[in-house]
Structure 1
Amino acid sequence: MVCTVPLVAATLLTRVHARNPLRAGFRGLYIPLEPGLELVIECVKSTRSGIVLELDHEYGQVLERVLNEFTYMVLGGRGIGLKVKVLHGEFLKLCNDLSAITSLLVGIGYTLCQYLGLSYISLLQFIHELELRYEVGYGFVNCLLTLSPTIVHVPGAPSFALFDVFPVPDGMYVIYIPNCLELPVPEDGKVLSYFKKLVLKPCLSTLGEVARRYVVEVPRLTPPASAIVAELRSCNFVYPLPTPRSLMILVHGKKLNEVLDMVSEIRDRYCLKLPEILVFRVVAGGVVVYEVQ
């Protein structure tokens, strides 16, 4: 079964409470991480503090050094006096998923490139290189390919905002398997221990190390996820969604029929009683959803 989900800004923005990206003067990024869970990043220029990023993220302060390092690399060594302002809101538990942190970094890089008038065409390539360098091939696509983040800026008229869809590479699909995981709660000691390292040494190399450990440990918590992850290791990109029960897998360089057949065959071989398996692909004007029968 195939259906197309239009990328309608008004529909996607109905549950953003912290700030309204449609208001005049907003420049930043709106990332729908999954239905009902959004992340809004705003760039604010300050004469005293350089550029201030306002983040709805509990670990914004911890990640400040990571954000500065990431920004420095994205902008080719250009220092811009980046500061982080943390706005505590609805996203407090989001920090316990490394895919959300990676999405945050991508969103910040893209927002800054757009805000500073720089080219962001190579940003995805940079992220891909970053993931290969630190062996963490997961994270940003949970928002890029399922719902697509949106750049928001003012085109001139004070009562309107202009929405640009983030470009994505061709030939990329996301396999979404809901209700197959029982991930640890945020208070889980092992999960929190991953982030203690990031607190002690907040930099990209530490984030890479923490992410590798996290993505290996999480699928072991449930047999269905372990079986799927083991079979799809050749795809290189395996990561969990920022929910306690779902799994997402990025597949690149394979034809859609191969992806569908592969997932269906794995499910049947292990007799996995999964409620449904969805495959997402971004196309012009929307997200195409393929359901594996």
Structure 2
Amino acid sequence: MAHELGDFLRARRTDAALSPESGVARRRIRGLRREEVATAAGISVDYYTRLEQGRETHPSDAVLDALARTLRLAPDAREHLFRLRGTAMSRPAPSPDDTLVERMAALVDAVRPNPAYVLDRLSTMVAVNPEGLALYAGFAALPPGERNTCRYLLTDPRAREVFVEWEELARGAVAQLRAANADDLHDPSLEALVAELGARSPLFAEWWSDHLVERRRASATHIRTAADGTVARRYEVLRIPDEELRMTLWLPPPSSTDGRRCATPSCAGPPSSMSQF
């Protein structure tokens, strides 16, 4: 995975958020120069250059720790960096058997009327209850294998109408897709999805090339509904690691003191930087 390791380092190094803020003359490049990263990490410029170019493939833990600190990697991105050093075995596309699908269907049915669905590592629904399906306009008419939440957020204009924090959710979907597939970024099913979304969505192509990495966790967001207007909703993400699945469970809308549904961020709690999809 040397190529992915170098691409990841290059993408994180050129992140605009890393640009020096003071004491440095204004410059045209984004992020940090190779020399700046190497100096801050305590390694030679030549060694770091070889890492980015894929000519050095087995950096030590100490080197990766130093690079993670220099590039200000969040925990998920740091873990991703370490995994990119290894050699992953190719694995087949996810194909849950009937028993697993039945188990997941029973799980999402048990939490009704709360919306819930189970997603595989490509963000395709393995199981969903009616309330969860209703969150995605048009999903009910699609074959189950085509109900992909990442594709929906990046290519369906209705997503921008339903989800108030659409950009955060869409970026989060891209970050989750990379995090869930870090062990094999050349899996044919993943490559096909990435090629499709890259062709259909310039934003997906941009965010995928930025090597965003973050797994979905519990947070809050706002949904526009015909019945209630804008409603604040919290959700929890439960992982089933052995099956490479995750379940998203939407909690009941909070209520204000006068009994009406609350649609303010203070009722829902702090939103995350990215979403659950």
What TM-score results when the alignment is normalised by the length of structure 2?
0.23
Specify the structure having the higher radius of gyration (Cα).
2
**Structure-1-length-normalised TM-score:** 0.22
Structure with more contact order per residue of length (Cα contacts < 8 Å, sep ≥ 6): 1
Greater helix share, structure number: 2
Greater strand share, structure number: 1
